[in-house]
Every structure is written in C-alpha cells, then in structure tokens.
Amino acid sequence: MFIPDKNVIAHLHAQDALTQNETLFRALFENSSDIIVLVTAEGLISYVSPSITRILGHPSEEIVGRHVPLLIHPDDLALMQGVFADVLQSPRESLRAEYRLRHCDGSWRWFEGVGMNVLDDPGVEAIVINFRDITDRKQSEDQLLFQADILRNVTESVIVTDLKGSIIYWNEEAQRVFGYTPEEMLGKTTSELYPDSDTMLLAHDLENILAGKDFVGVWLGRRKDGTSVWIDIKTTLLRDSRGAAHGFIGIAKDITSRKVVEQALDIQQQEFQAIAEHARDIISRFDLAYRHVYVNPAIEAFTGLPRHTFIGKTFEELGMPDSLASDWKAALRKVFETGQEEIIEFAFPSPMDSKWFESHLIPEYAHDRTVASVLVIAREFTERKRAEEQLKASEERLRALLEHSADAISLLDHRGRRMYATPSSARIIGYEPTDYLGEGTIEQLHPDDVSQVQQIFTAIIEQPGLSLPAQFRARHKNGSWVWLEGTGTNLLDHPSIQAIVVNYRDITERKQAEEALRQSEENFRVLAASLPEIVWTATPEGSIQYYNQRWYDYTGFEPASKQPEAWSAIIHPDDLSHVLARWEIAHTTGEPFEAEYRLKRADGMYRWHLGRSIAIKEKDGIINKWFGTATDITDQKEAEQQKDEFISIASHELKTPVTTIKGLTQLLKRRLERQGATELVSILASVETQINRLTRLVNDLLDSSKIQAGRLDYVQEAVDLDALVHNIIETMQLTTTTHTISIHGASHASIKGDRDKLEQVFINLISNAIKYSPQATSVDIHLAVSYDMVMVSVHDNGVGIPEEQQHKIFERFYRAQDSTDRAAPGLGMGLYIASEIVKRHHGKITVTSEEGKGSTFTVYLPLES
Ligand code: ADP
C-alpha cells in the first residue's frame, strides 16, 4: 500500500517540471487506494482521483466543481470547516482529522483526511487532501472501546496476563476487590495476590489451563491492606486469531462475605450435628409438608426403626396411629403459621409398650422471616408421666374415698372454728362443706353435750398430738339431732395440716339400736322374772349368763353366787348322762335341745322338768347365745302315768268279758244257723262285727299299754314275707267290697321276726289305706328288695295327710286333723303300734303323702343275715 505523505508530495513538486513523468503520476493517483482531492482556497473541488468511484461509488466528474461538504457527514462538517480554516492559515503543513464520507448507496464510511495547503505552489495551487478509508479500523476501535467499557463495567474482576504471568489488564472491579490500582499492578504477576497458595497446586492448575481446560475454583487471596479475600475464579487461556496462546484471563468474584456466612453455617451445622447425633433426646426436623428431613440416631433406640425409614415421610406415611398423626400435624401447622414454639405431650407406640414424650417444636426461619422448617426435640418422660398418673390416680382415689367415706373429717382451728370439711359431711349433718366455714362448731351441738365436748376440746388443744374420742349429738340441717362418734386429734403442729382434725361418723342408728336392745333386754328380764318356768341364757360354750328368779326360788341358791356348774349338781344322777349326751349334740350342731330330767328342789325333792333350749344365732349363723327354759312337768307326768295305768287296767279288765262275749255270740250264731233262724243269724253277724271291732280296740289299747311299759313280747321265727302279704290280702279282700287290693313284685325274702305282729302292721296299713280313701277303688302293694332291706309299700289314692302333720301321725293317740271330722273311726293307736313293732324288728316306717291325692306308707325290714 502506498501512502502519499508530504515527503512524497515534495518529491513530486521537485519533479514538477518533469512532464514526462505526468503519465506516471496520473496512473498512480488513479490506482491509489486513497482518494486524492484537490480543493481551491474557496473550497471547490478542482480534482478528484478516479479511485473515488471504486471507493465511494461516485463518478469523479459528478464531484469535480462541487463544494467539499457535499461528501461530509453533517456531524463532521464543523470539524472539517475548522480544519480547513487551519489548513488555509498554515501553508505546507499537513493537518489530520477523521470524517465520515457518504457512499453513493447512502451509507457512511470513515476516512482519515490529511490536508496540506500548497496554494502557493504554482504547479499545484490547491489544497491537497488525501482521504484514506479507515472504516475497518474504526469499527475495530469501536469494538475495543465497547469491550473495554464492558470490562470496566462488569461486576467481576477481570485480570489479563501474558503467558509469563505479567498483568496486562486490570479492571475496576479487580481494583475494588484487591485494593490495587491498575497502575500498581500492570506488569506485576498475580502471585502476590495469592501468597498463601500452594505453588505445586498452582503449577498443576496452570498446566491444565495451558492444556485448554478452564480452571474454575475458589482461592483465598490477600488484599493490599493485608486482609483475606475469598475469590471464586475462572481462568481461561487467551489465544490470538491464529490460535496461538498469548495470555490468561481470569474472571473472579469476591465471595468473602458468602464464604464467611458459609463457614459460620458450616460450623453451626457441625455443632448441630455433633449435638444432635449424640443427644439422648429425639431430635428431628420437619419441612413444610410435615415430612421428616432429619432425625438423630436416638430415634432408633426409642422406636426400634432405622432412622432412614423416617426421612421424607410424614407421621401418616409412617403408619402412626391416626390420632397421633393428626395431633402432630396440627402442632406443626401451628408452628409454621404462628412462628411460635409449641410443646406437646404424646405417647409413642414402641415395640414393648407406649413411651411418653414431651416435644418442643421450634420454628426455623428462612431469610424472608417465614418459617422454613420445624426442629423438634422430644424428651422421654414415661417414668415421670407414670409417676404423675399414679399420683393423680392416688389423689383421685383419696378424694373418692373422702367423698364416699361413711366418715367425715373436719379441720378446726385452735378456737374450734370450721376451716375445712370433707364432702361426706353433707351426708351426715346436711350442711355442705362450704357452709358455716370459719364459724364455731360448738353452737351446732346438743346443749346436754356441749360441756363434755368443750372439756375434751380443751384437753386436746393443750397437748399437741393428743387424740381423744367423744360421742355427742349435733344438729342436722333439717333440725333433727344426729348422734356422732368422733375422734379429735391435735395436729396444729403438723406442717401441712395445722388444725384440729375431727374424724366423725353417724352413729344414730347404732344408738337407736342400742336403745332398742336395752329396752328389749329390760322387757325380757321382766318377762323372764314373771314366768313360772326356769329361764336361763348361756354363752355359745354353755356357761350360764343369766337365771330368772324362778331358778333361785326353786333351787334355793343365792343370786349372788353364780354356780355355773349347778345344773349337773342338781340333775338326778340317772338322768345326767342322757341330758349331757343331748346337750353335746345340740352344742355341736346348733340344733334345739330338748330333754326330760329330774331337778332337785331346795327341799331335796326331785321333780320332773322338760328342758328346752335354742341357740340364738347371728345373721351369719354363728351362735350368739343359748336361751333355755325348764318347765316343771311332774304333775303332767303323773297324770300321764295315771292315764296309762287306767288304760292298762281297763283294757285288761275288758279283755276277758269281750272275749267271753265273742265266744258266746259265735256259739249262739252257730246254733241259730242250725235251727235256720236266718233273721236272728244276720243280727248276730252284725253283733259279731261290732265285737270284732271292740276286740281290736281292746287289743290295741292293751298293746299300747304294753309297749309303754315295755312289756310287749316278741317271738323270733322265720317269716316268708311274700306269703304273709299274699295271705293278708286274700283274707282282707274277702270282706272288702269297695276296693281292689293288688300286689306288685315280690321280695323272695325270708326274714326273722314275729309273724303275728308283722301281720298286725300290714293289716293296719291296708285298713288305713281303705279307710282314708273312700272315693277310691284300689290299694296297691309293692314288694321289693333294695340292698339289705325288704321294702313293702302300701299306696292309696285317698285324702292324703297335710305335710306339717306327717311326722306326728306315728305318735300315740294322734289323729290327723281332718280324719276326725270325716267320721273315720279310730283312736290314733294303729300307726303308733305299727311303728313300735317295726322298730323292734330293726326297721322303719316312712310316709310320703300329698293332701287330696293319696299316701304311700313304706315298711323297711332288714333281710335275714
Ligand atoms: P286311726 O285309728 O285314727 O286310724 P292311726 O294311728 O292308724 O289311727 O292313724 C293315725 C292318723 O293318721 C289317722 O287318724 C289318719 O288321720 C292318718 N292316716 C293314717 N293312714 C292314713 C292314710 N292312708 N291316708 C290318710 N290319712 C291316714
């Protein structure tokens, strides 16, 4: 490229005369890459090189003869005019300026114009301006300026070095970060910015960068003032347009403040970790979705679950019981919403049993002061909870006891004023515990009891710890008097009581019962004293507690002397053993005692007594005492004896005439039969029937007398029981028209006994069955053997025997109530005699009967062994 500067022009002028060279110049001008313009002093273009057409597209003939401003950018016009004025005043001096010239397509291009005033040169007589196109340079300059601007304004520090590390660029941010100005740093190396860095590491990093790998990392640098600065840096290799490395560019950011926060956070995190990982409390963290984001190892010990199972899960997702999960959610939500700490207690199901925890829920804040997470510290307090529950339970128990206790407790102060009362007091005296608090209690007492209670109260007040009982009446709210039994204790010195404690209960009923008892005892004594019988009471063991007056009158003993063993001393020696035997039975079984015995009177006479005693038992059946009487039955006994003697004599005396009458009647009947006096025979038959009845009655009376006197004789013979019963029935059926007597079964037994008397037994039972079943038509006899006994039962469908009379019908002369009315004849001796006979055969008779339905009498006799 040829640039025609002033030396060239001068040279050209020197050759001015050399016209032969004109052609050469023209060619040069025309082919120059510059535009050469000749301007007159008036500013008119007198010549333009043809290169203008190539460069700006304008044909040169359009330009010649025009003013220069035609091509100049309006913004550059003033500059150009200024320079033109200077050029005019400074001949032969070249002046330089940059302008935009218009291309024929309308665009503007940058040119460097160099003008020189050679108006004085007669060969030229013009101002020569040489325009060189500098558009490309201008553009790259602009680009550079733009980039430099960017670099200056980037918030990162930008440092550029050459390959040796000498700093060739240092921007404002780099100055701000490190404190050095560009002047201080240009030409220096970056190593003094990082005095603490490991050179080996630096070398290694450098190698990597040279190999084309950008370095990205964090370095600790030092500022001009000596303080540390954390740098986040990216270093890249710089290459020229041919790709050759020619330097490094480092773009860095000051992250010191972030680093400080990070370090502080890191330390905090480490501290938290160290504490949490070793804490015995459960520590966990929940995010906004109530999920575990952290749990410490303690949770494993408590739940038996590995800690990772918790992470990312809510309580619900962990399968916790619904109520627990919802409680937790509610508590967490509250903390997230309010930002306030919460405390909740809950039971956590663990493999063995439930464990109780107290949890503190602590909000953790984000930068914007919202709650980002919740930290939970849960401490187990199962033991404490249990203790609390036990305490609560025992308090409740105590309160329930006090409320439901039959007793009431009042606390009185030293002047007897009511300070406290248990709820049960309302039940006893009608007043609520809060009634007349702070008022005196003496006013509530029965006037007759006031002085007694006052004395006791005074005694208690004088002696701390003293406890005294009292019985007194107090007025019930309803106006009635209530008997109370109480104990007052002086606990004024007791630190947690500081009162007189009065414990009392209602004994009104007991008092009434005592009074009733006293009354009834008095009644008993009056009654017992006036009775003609001997009356006594004895302890459960039998020692006498009380005798009535009759005892002392009869025995002549002194009332003062108790003489507990007096009984045995005055019972007739012959009676003593059986009385004692009876007593022994009564004493051990508690059954009533009854015995007849003779008692010696004061005058030495023995008189018969019927002794009876019954045990007075308490509700639970335990004998409380024995109550007994002894009734003088001597006169009765004698009358009985006289009656027996009379019956015995009478029946004996009747026997002979009746037998004689019977014999003679039979004789007479036979004679009259032979004579054919049938009418008389039938009359005699009736007489005979009545005589037979009479004979039976006399025999029965005789038998019973003999039995009474123990003089009835028995023979011992083998008796075929089946045959005996069959015979009896055959005979009886002959004279019985109303009933059919049937036999069922057989005993096949032979027994030892008195045939006639056994016959008498069965005849009696069968006659009774017929006699007492007038409406019925059958009597059934059953024979059977059971074990070692023969059973003969007689069954009828008759009137039956009322249950309460059944045990009496075997007594002598006893007849059941109705049988007398129904005109069934009899003396009430048959069953007596029968049972005596059976007894003598070592057997027994039983009866089962239902009134209106019939009776069954069964005779048991021992088989012959
Ligand atoms: P009695 O001479 O009165 O029949 P017993 O000694 O034979 O005397 O009987 C006593 C009482 O037992 C009778 O008066 C009667 O009331 C009752 N008695 C006995 N046997 C029967 C029976 N088979 N059915 C109903 N009552 C009977």
Q: Where are the alpha helices (DSSP H) in 60-169?
A: 60-63, 77-89, 135-153
Atom of ligand 1 nearest to the CA of 831: 6
Report CA(613)–ligand 1 centroid distance (Å). Answer: 32
With H, G, I as helix, E, B as strand and everything else as coil, classify residue 658: helix
What separation in angstroms does the CA of 765 have from each of 156, 732, 733, 806?
142, 12, 14, 15
Ligand 1, atom nearest to 799 Cα: 25
| Sheet of strand 342-349, all strands in order from the earlier edge strand to the far edge | 292-295, 282-286, 371-380, 354-365, 342-349
Take atom 2 of ligand 1 and give the residue whose Cα is closest.
Answer: 826
Token match 């007994």: residue?
A: 628
Using the atom order of ligand 1, give the atom closest to the CA of residue 794: 23
Q: Residue 585 in contact with residue 591, Cβ under 8 Å?
A: yes
> What span, in angstroms and rounded, lies between the C-alpha atoms of 363 and 286?
10
Q: Is the CB of 799 under 6 A from ligand 1?
A: yes
Question: What is the DSSP secondary-structure string of 710-759?
Answer: T------EEEEHHHHHHHHHHHHHHH-SS-EEEEE-----EEEE-HHHHH
855 lines ligand 1 (CB under 6 A): yes
User: Which of 698, 772, 827, 837 should be mutated for ligand 1, with most atoms under 8 A from CB?
Assistant: 772
- Using the atom order of ligand 1, give the atom closest to the CA of residue 826: 2
Interval between CA 739 and ligand 1 midpoint (Å): 17
Whether 755 shows a pLDDT value over 90: the answer reads yes
Per-residue pLDDT reduced to its tens digit, 630-654: 999 999 999 988 988 898 899 889 9
What digits encode the pLDDT tens for the residues 459-477? Answer: 999 999 889 999 999 999 9
User: If DSSP states are collapsed to H, E and C, what string results for 763-795?
Assistant: HHHHHHHHHCCCCCCEEEEEEEEECCEEEEEEE
> For 764-819, how does the pLDDT look when each residue is reduced to its tens digit (9 = 90+)?
999 999 999 999 999 999 999 988 899 999 999 999 999 999 989 999 888 887 65
* Backbone φ/ψ region at 652: left (φ over 0), alpha (ψ -120 to 50), beta: alpha
Spatial separation of the C-alpha atoms in residues 490 and 499, rounded to whole Å: 7
- Distance (Å, whole) CA 43 – CA 80: 11
Q: Round to whole Å and give the CA distance between 177 and 157.
A: 7
628 closest CA partner among 598, 600, 587, 589: 587
Residue-level pLDDT at 19: 57
Looking at the DSSP assignment, which residues form a beta bridge with residue 359? 344, 378
C-alpha 151, offset from chain centre: 76
pLDDT at residue 770 in the model? 95
* The token pair that represents 323 in the structure block: 């109520």
Residues paired with 781 in a beta bridge: 743, 794
Ligand 1 site, residue 854, Cβ cutoff 6 A:
no
> Is 813 near ligand 1, meaning CB less than 6 Å away?
no
Q: Is 566 exposed, middle or buried (0-12, 13-18, 19+ CB in 10 A)?
A: middle
Q: How many alpha carbons lie under 13 Å from residue 11 in its C-beta half-sphere?
A: 7
For ligand 1, atom 23, name the residue with the nearest CA: 769
Percent of the chain with pLDDT over 70: 94
Alpha carbons 90 and 79: distance in angstroms, whole number: 16
Q: To test ligand 1's pocket by mutation, which of 815, 817, 836, 838 has the most ligand atoms within 8 angstroms of CB? A: 815
Residue 343's contacts (CB-CB under 8 Å, 6 or more residues apart) are 358, 359, 360, 361
Q: How high is the pLDDT of residue 259?
A: 83
CA 827 – ligand 1 centroid, Å: 9
Q: How far is the C-alpha of 721 from the C-alpha of 746, rounded, in Å?
A: 9
Write b or e for each residue in 282-303: b if 16 or more Cβ atoms lie within 10 A of its Cβ, otherwise e: bbbbbbeebbbebbbebbbebb
Look at residue 374 in the predicted model and tell me its pLDDT. 93
Tokens matching residue 231: 């740098």
Using CA atoms, how far residue 290 sits from 269, 313, 432, in Å, is 21, 8, 53
| Contact criterion met (CB below 8 Å) for 753 and 841 | yes
Ligand 1, atom 17, lies closest to the CA of: 816
CA distance 341 to 180: 50
- The mean predicted confidence, pLDDT, of the chain is 87
Instruction: Find the angle CA(9)-CA(14)-CA(19) to the nearest 5 degrees.
Output: 100
Atom of ligand 1 nearest to the CA of 816: 16
Question: What is the pairing mode between strands 94-102 and 499-506?
Answer: unpaired
Mutate to test the pocket of ligand 1, among 741, 801, 853, 857 (most ligand atoms within 8 A of CB): 801
Of residues 359 and 206, the one with the higher pLDDT is 359
Q: From atom 4 of ligand 1, which residue's Cα is the shortest distance away?
A: 826
**What is the predicted pLDDT for the residue at 285?**
92
Q: Is 453 in the pocket of ligand 1 (CB under 6 A)?
A: no
Exposure of 840 in the CB half-sphere (CA atoms within 13 A): 19
Share of the chain above pLDDT 90, in %: 36
**Residue 206 and residue 248: Cα distance in Å, rounded?**
10
Which of the pair, 563 or 178, is modelled with greater confidence?
Answer: 178
Atom index in ligand 1 nearest the CA of residue 814 equals 10
Three-state SS at 299: helix
CB of 124 closer than 6 A to ligand 1? no
pLDDT, tens digit (0-9, with 9 covering 90-100), for 403-442: 777 788 888 998 888 888 888 888 888 888 888 777 877 8
Whether 378 and 284 have beta carbons less than 8 Å apart is answered as yes
- Determine the residue of 795, 804, 831 to mutate for testing ligand 1's pocket, defined as the one with the most ligand atoms within 8 A of the Cβ atom: 831
Q: Is the CB of 535 under 6 A from ligand 1?
A: no
CA of 736 to the centre of ligand 1 (A): 18
Distance separating alpha carbons of residues 228 and 576, to the nearest angstrom: 130
Distance, CA of 474 to CA of 465 (rounded, Å): 25
The answer to whether residues 687 and 661 touch, using CB atoms and an 8 Å cutoff, is: no
Counting from 1 in the atom list of ligand 1, the atom nearest the Cα of 832 is: 6
Q: Is residue 604 over pLDDT 50?
A: yes
Cβ count near 847 (within 10 Å):
15
**Does 794 sit in the ligand 1 pocket, CB within 6 Å?**
no
Query: β-pairing, 481-491 with 499-506?
Result: antiparallel
809 lines ligand 1 (CB under 6 A): yes
Q: Which residue, among 366, 165, 360, 357, has the nearest Cα to 250 in the 3D structure? A: 165
Q: Is 760 in the pocket of ligand 1 (CB under 6 A)?
A: no
Report CA(345)–ligand 1 centroid distance (Å). Answer: 89
Closest approach atom of ligand 1 to CA 773: 24
Q: How many CB atoms lie within 10 A of CB 777?
A: 9
Give me the phi and psi of 709, to 5 degrees please: -85, 0
Ligand 1 atom with minimal separation from the 857 CA = 23
Distance 798 CA to ligand 1 centre (A): 11
Q: Give yes or no for residue 615 CB within 6 A of ligand 1.
A: no
822 pLDDT above the threshold of 60: no
Instruction: Tell me phi and psi for residue 799, to 5 degrees.
Output: -70, -25
Residue 834 Cβ < 6 Å to ligand 1: no
For ligand 1, say whether the CB of 569 is within 6 Å of any of its atoms: no
User: Ligand 1: does its nearest atom lie under 6 Å from the Cβ of 766?
Assistant: no
Q: Ligand 1 centre from 662 Cα, in Å? A: 27
Q: Is the CB of 816 under 6 A from ligand 1?
A: yes
Q: Ligand 1: distance of its center to the CA of 801 in Å?
A: 8
Cβ neighbours of residue 3 under 8 Å, at least 6 residues apart? 34, 130, 132
Considering only 241-255, 260-274, 367-381, 552-566, which range has the smallest mean pLDDT?
A: 552-566
Indicate if the pLDDT at residue 399 is higher than 70: yes
Q: Is 547 in the pocket of ligand 1 (CB under 6 A)?
A: no
Q: How far is the CA of 816 from the centre of ligand 1 (A)?
A: 7
In short, whether 793's Cβ falls inside 6 Å of ligand 1 is: no
Residue whose CB lies within 8 A of the most ligand 1 atoms, among 703, 764, 768, 857, for a mutation test:
768
Pair of tokens at residue 200: 């080996």
List phi, psi (to 5°) of 256. -55, -50
Taking the C-alpha atoms of residue 745 and residue 858, their distance in angstroms, rounded to an integer, is 14
The reported pLDDT for the residue numbered 660 is 94
State pLDDT tens for residues 304-362: 889 899 999 998 888 888 888 898 899 999 999 999 999 988 887 766 677 788 899 99
Distance (angstroms) between ligand 1 centre and the Cα of 828 equals: 7
Q: Is 835 in the pocket of ligand 1 (CB under 6 A)?
A: no
- Using the predicted structure, report yes or no on whether residue 16 has a pLDDT greater than 60: no
- For the CA of 819, the nearest atom of ligand 1: 16
Give the C-alpha separation, 864 to 750, whole Å: 7
- Structural contact between residues 196 and 222, judged by C-beta atoms closer than 8 angstroms: yes
Cα distances (Å, whole numbers) of residue 320 to 63, 249, 377, 864: 98, 60, 18, 88
Per-residue pLDDT averaged across 538-564, rounded? 82
How many whole angstroms separate alpha carbon 530 and alpha carbon 557? 18
DSSP summary character for residue 70 = G
Q: How far is the CA of 823 from the centre of ligand 1 (A)?
A: 12
Residue 700 alpha carbon to ligand 1 centre in Å:
14
- Buried b vs exposed e over 72-81: b needs ≥16 C-beta within 10 Å? bbeebeeebe
Greater confidence (170 vs 347) lies with 170
pLDDT, position 2: 41
Alpha-carbon dihedral sign for residues 725, 728, 731, 735: negative
User: What pLDDT does 180 receive?
Assistant: 92
Structure tokens at 126: 């013009």
3-class secondary-structure state, position 851: coil
Of residues 236 and 20, more confidence is placed in 236
Question: Which residue has the least CA distance to atom 11 on ligand 1?
Answer: 815
- Structure confidence at residue 1 (pLDDT): 35
Verify whether ligand 1 is closer than 6 Å to residue 701 (CB atom). no
Q: CA gyration radius for the chain?
A: 75
